[in-house]
Structure 1
Amino acid sequence: MKPDWVPILCYHRVCPESEFGPDPGSLCVTPGQFGRQLALLKALGYRTVTLADLAAYLKAQKNLPPRSVALTFDDGYADNCVHAFPLLKKHGFTATVFLVTDRIGGTNVWDSGKVPLLNEDQIVRMRDGGVHFGSHSAGHADLSRSDPGTIRRELSDSLEKVRGLCGRMDVPFCYPYGRPGPAAKAAARELGYLCALSTDTGSDTDQSGDLFEMRRVQVFPSTTLSGFWKKLQPWYPRWQKFQKKLKSSF
């Protein structure tokens, strides 16, 4: 039996509420929230799959169990190792963390707050614990507005860095700000990325489309446990489309 769909859940930070800050506070969940969400996945019989597994499934090269889900983290915040990683290990789950490779061991420069990012020791520890890594570009540039030379450098430099750190050739990509753009999509494909993800949650989250513009379901601090359950359902993408259409009509 094949899954009706495979939701790709999108997280950023996992940290105490006191560390949320003004920006990107909307992209944080607490360790308690994250732990309850993982516990619910476990209780419902979900298994986490890697993006390599999912890409192979979508190309009809591999089967997946009925209740499959992929967990992803954008930007590579240090709290992913401090708070999220122990909870993933506790529940026997894996995830993919997308790194801004020029900022490894530093802080974020694309939002306010100077939030610490993963260093190489933390990345290696997580890698050895079953976590996968992908590229979120070299410097978190908005690739939808960048020239072709910048796009290629952002993607090729980060691809080389992630491959060197993780020892894997099948590296996924995640568009900064969730904005693909045709030039960035073409470069990701040409450079040999496994697949590429956006942050669009409004449509096509049933993964019926382009491997280089895969859609995800974002998890926010306001996401209740019942709301989290809804995000796992095959009808959720259609529900989001309906909500968006309804809002635009008023």
Structure 2
Amino acid sequence: MRKRLFYTLFCILGIILIYASYKRIYKDSLVQIPVLMYHHFDTEGISETTIHPQNFQRHLKFLKEEGYETVTIEELIGFLKQKKPFPKKPIIITIDDGYLSNYTLAYPVLKEENMKATIFVVTSFREKQPGVTPHFTWEQAKEMYDLGLVDIQSHSYNSHYKIDTIKGSKGALTRPIHSDIKIESDEEFEKRIKEDLLKSKEDIEKNIGNKVIALAYPFGEYSRASEKAAKEVGYRATFIIKDKMNYEDATPHLLKRIQVSGYDIEEDLAKKIKYSKSSFTIIDKVKAKIVSIITSIKDEEVMGREIEIYINGGKVHFPTQSPYIDRNFTILVPVEDVVKSLGAEFTYDEAGGVVLVKNKETKVQFIIDSDKVYINGEEKQMNNTVVLTPKKVIMVPLRFLGEALEKTVIWNEKEKIIYIN
């Protein structure tokens, strides 16, 4: 039996490596489309998001020397959707927020180098001029657009802020507002973001005269609801922040952008583009697959049958999802079934992704896809993340759950039985 398992493993690994090699060759044969992201420009100070215009110009010269041609988002969509003519080495320059420095410092460089860029603007900032850093006006935006080198697209109307949640601060387009003064329903949330994205689109088209087809999510954070709203109001492309390459087999939604730092010189920029290529992660994916296969074999040899759980002498039944051991050899259980058998309370806030478990003494808050947990308000960290299965069952580490509720958890490995008292 053992020899057969390892022979099977050897064959599977061979297939994976062949596939990985094919995938690398296939990806390298496709047109690669890096999208760079800049923000602010300054002649006196630089930071992660502020670059000196002379350094920006060196970046553009370097890209031209390397054979890159700047393209617009409309040209990109035409290529991805209809395979319209496209450069062999395209690149998209994007600038976020719409600071005045985009007009006074970056725009002259773009003109001098004759290179295109897209500026994603927060349209409510055109009038408010918030903070200490001024933003360009609609008149200045139209001047740049009319020359033909700068396109103006959306960065939302007024959603460039974060909402405090138990999972930390999250972008306003990602979830409903739950605060001391406002609790937003899912319907109100969807209505808010749809109106915001439509307002931004209409403001730009009214003041610039162009067609607004693209949205760059503030902070690069999005949700299913925001993607749905963006499509419904007419955005044909959306952008996130992720230091990865886009390829010609991509869709125009959730396109990745590489963050450019004000400290980056030409060599740094070259490295960021090079290591953004997805094919560089193939070996990592193979390693993950190997671990998964080895784990499944180990589980089969050691465990042999389903895990049984007894709470105060009574067997717990799991009608939808059985407990299982993950690749870290941690036992994950359906939290709702266990909690109810323990006589504790269970609630799940689907919009916020928060699971609340409490008894008379203890309140435990788990967060979907996170290893952070809060016990009576104090943050702790688990070795595993909370899992939401395709069947919508929430799985948490059993020992951590039991001990958080001050229960004794005993694991009989030979019999594959867990006792909780």
TM-score, normalised relative to structure 2 = 0.52
* Matching residue within 267, 276, 283 for 1:236: 276
> Are the aligned partners of 1:52 and 1:170 in contact in 2 as well (CA < 8 Å)?
no
> Are the aligned partners of 2:98 and 2:119 in contact in 1 as well (CA < 8 Å)?
yes
Corresponding residue number in structure 2 for 1:180: 222
State how far apart, in whole Å, the 2-side matches of 1:77 and 1:17 are.
Answer: 16
> Are the aligned partners of 1:105 and 1:118 in contact in 2 as well (CA < 8 Å)?
no
Deviations 1:118-145 (A, max 9, x none): 1112111111222101011111242012
* Matching residue within 107, 122, 138 for 1:120: 138
Corresponding residue number in structure 2 for 1:11: 38
- Quote how far apart the aligned CAs of 1:241 are: 5.0
Q: Does 1:149 align with 2:186?
A: no
Unaligned runs of 5+ in 2: 1-28, 162-171, 177-188, 286-421
Following TM superposition, where does structure 1 have runs of at least 4 consecutive aligned residues deviating by more than 4 angstroms?
Answer: 239-242
Q: Does 1:193 align with 2:215?
A: no
Secondary structure of 1:84 counterpart: helix
Secondary structure of 2:119 counterpart: strand
Q: CA RMSD in A?
A: 2.5
> Are the aligned partners of 1:12 and 1:73 in contact in 2 as well (CA < 8 Å)?
yes
- Quote how far apart the aligned CAs of 1:159 are: 0.5
Letter in 2 for 1:104: R
Percent of paired sites with the same residue: 29
Aligned residues: 234
Cα distance change of structure 1 residues 83 and 240 upon mapping to structure 2, 3 Å threshold: farther
Higher strand share: 2
> Are the aligned partners of 1:77 and 1:115 in contact in 2 as well (CA < 8 Å)?
yes
Unaligned runs of 5+ in 1: 246-250
> Are the aligned partners of 1:108 and 1:116 in contact in 2 as well (CA < 8 Å)?
yes
State how far apart, in whole Å, the 1-side matches of 2:140 and 2:100 are.
Answer: 8
State how far apart, in whole Å, the 1-side matches of 2:101 and 2:281 are.
Answer: 32
- Quote how far apart the aligned CAs of 1:83 are: 0.6
The structure with higher relative contact order (CA 8 Å, sep 6+) is 1
Q: Which moved more, 1:77-86 or 1:143-152?
A: 143-152
Cα distance change of structure 1 residues 61 and 107 upon mapping to structure 2, 3 Å threshold: same
Secondary structure of 2:124 counterpart: helix
Cα distance change of structure 1 residues 74 and 173 upon mapping to structure 2, 3 Å threshold: same
Corresponding residue number in structure 1 for 2:155: 136
Deviations 1:28-85 (A, max 9, x none): 1111110100111122222110000011111133121111111101111110011100
- Quote how far apart the aligned CAs of 1:237 are: 2.9
Cα distance change of structure 1 residues 236 and 76 upon mapping to structure 2, 3 Å threshold: same
> Are the aligned partners of 2:34 and 2:245 in contact in 1 as well (CA < 8 Å)?
no
* Matching residue within 256, 260, 273 for 1:215: 256
- Quote how far apart the aligned CAs of 1:108 are: 4.0
Tell me which structure has the larger Cα radius of gyration.
2
